[in-house]
Amino acid sequence: MRTRADLTLATLFGGMFVMGSTELLVVGVLDLMAADLRVSVQAAGALVTAYALGLAIGGPVLTALTVRLDRRLILAAALALFALTTLLAIVTTSTALMLVARTVTGTLQGAYIAAAFAVGGAVVPAARAGRAMAVVISGTTVSGALGVPLGTLAGQTLGWRGSFAAAAVLAVAALVATLLLVPSVPGAGGAEAQVRHAFAPPVLAVLALTVLAFASVYAALTYIVPFLATVTGVSGGAVSVFLLAYGVATAAGSFGGGRFADTNAGRALVVGTVGLAISLLTLFVFGAVAFVAGAAVLASGLFAMGMAPSLQYRVVSLAGPGGSFAQSLPASAANVGIALGSLAGGVAVGAVGVSAAVAAGVALAVLAIPVAAVCSRLRPPASPAADADCKTGSGGSAPQSWG
């Protein structure tokens, strides 16, 4: 059973890696796409926004519409359609049609994420639910650390259409693995009841914390390259070392954070927000020292993604009977936080200077601390599992739909 569960989790990790790499692939080949499509870089950049909106808004909507269906079916259908829409982006010469394709692809990823969390939780004991979530999340974080650089290299070698074709092939490979290795997991109850429980005030509080946490990181991270150049005095190839360290830290944080989610998810959120605030404050105050700046960047990635399994765990457990639909919400909240953080950082840079982006990140992280403290005290809806959880003080329990 453990081997079968590990194979299932590895398959889910692979699917998340492929989708995460495809999501960010545009960033690495943006200039190539703009030149080929004869549009400005800014116009090509709208493809990133379209994908994010599809994931943040379309993902939960599609999850609600398919909540009764078998989760394995959702995974397989999402991967198959993901491959098709990625291929559509290759063959079209219309920027408008490509925008639609990217929006649909993002929506499919949002539905896949929710189904992957549900399946991951179903194949492991409740005591390992947080670690299962961490494996699923890590597919995305590893794609950020490795998939994007590899995708950029493929784009430079094969052209942007060739790199998209490679992504479609990998999606088909993930589809085959899903059909062979992932077990059937029944859907949940009606969408209306799911949505009602998933948007209960305690769940909304954790989602607000998710927005704040990711906003704090991306207020600084969006402008980390100019910060390193003007404040730290690091540019050129050395910047890649800092970004690679950040990517490795996020991957390590997401893997390791699963154990903390299983032990005490509420406490992990408080520790994570405090650590994030200290990391960003250190970067702001001592950013001129390259070694300290590098350590601060690494720590911010470690704490930010170390919280991710606990955020997911708390949202699902607090949603109770609405856990199946709630699986899709943390990813949406994270994308909202990324957008707001980038906006806040941009406003700060325009008003004061590049260092102000990091200061904005510090302010958002400090604001997140009391929210995390409140969220750590929230309890799931009354049930035998929840009562047992309150007695053990674990801060969350796996929803009953996970088995």
Q: At what angle do helices 355-376 and 329-351 cross, to 10 degrees?
A: 150
> What predicted TM-score, i.e. pTM, was given to this entire model?
0.78
Q: Please report, for residues 171, 268, 328, 379, the alpha-carbon distance to residue 118 in angstroms, rounded to integers and kept in the order given.
A: 20, 22, 10, 20
Asked whether 296 and 385 are in contact (CB, 8 A), the reply is no
Q: Tokens 């801060």 — which residue?
A: 395
Residues of the chain with CATH 1.20.1250.20: 2-187, 192-402
Give pLDDT tens digits for 191-216: 677 788 888 999 999 999 999 999 99
**pLDDT above 60 for 393:** no
Task: Please list, in sequence order, all residues whose beta carbon lies within 8 angstroms of the beta carbon of residue 182, skipping any fewer than 6 positions away.
Answer: 8, 11, 12, 72, 75, 119
pLDDT of residue 190: 67
Asked whether 316 and 106 are in contact (CB, 8 A), the reply is no
pLDDT of residue 243: 78
One of 1.20.1530.20, 3.90.1330.10, 1.20.1250.20, 1.10.3720.10 is the CATH number of 2-187, namely: 1.20.1250.20
Q: With cut-offs at 50, 70 and 90, classify the pLDDT of residue 398.
A: very low
Count how many Cα atoms sit within 13 Å of the Cα of residue 269 in the half-sphere of its side chain: 32
- Residue range 192-402 forms a domain whose CATH class is mainly alpha
Count how many Cα atoms sit within 13 Å of the Cα of residue 283 in the half-sphere of its side chain: 35
Give pLDDT tens digits for 55-71: 888 999 998 888 889 99
Other beta carbons within 10 angstroms of residue 153's beta carbon come to 12
Asked whether 109 and 82 are in contact (CB, 8 A), the reply is yes
Give pLDDT tens digits for 23-51: 877 766 777 788 888 887 667 777 877 88
**pLDDT above 80 for 387:** no
